[in-house]
């Protein structure tokens, strides 16, 4: 099992990758049709960032309880990216 610091580093790298993907989509998305998608993705991105901040503040073994919420927040961002990409093709 990963330590809290290892897990946190992994999630921070994952968030950075997702942010890069979002920025690329925002650059490509010039049509107003994507505004709603982008707003949704940004909202989910902020939720993921907030969960990661909660994880950073967790002490002892309480961080283990947050893992499910962190994973869900990141999955929500990835799902929103997938939907936008699928609809834009």
pLDDT, one tens digit per residue, over 31-42 is 666 778 888 888
pLDDT, one tens digit per residue, over 34-78 is 778 888 888 999 999 999 999 999 988 888 889 999 999 999 999
Q: Are 55 and 75 in contact (CB under 8 A)?
A: no
Kindly report the pTM of this predicted structure. Answer: 0.78
With CA atoms as reference, report the closest residue to 7 among 44, 50, 56, 49: 56
pLDDT at residue 81 tops 80: yes
- Sign of the alpha-carbon dihedral angle for 35, 71, 48, 21: negative
């Amino acid at each position: 099992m990963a330590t809290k610091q290892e897990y946190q580093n992994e999630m921070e790298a994952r968030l950075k990758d997702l942010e890069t993907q979002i920025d690329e989509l925002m650059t490509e998305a010039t049509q107003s049709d994507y505004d709603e998608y982008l707003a949704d993705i940004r909202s989910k991105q902020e939720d993921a960032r907030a969960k990661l901040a909660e994880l950073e503040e967790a002490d002892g073994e309480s961080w283990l309880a947050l893992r499910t919420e962190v994973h869900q927040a990141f999955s929500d961002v990835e799902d929103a990216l997938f939907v936008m990409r699928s609809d834009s093709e």
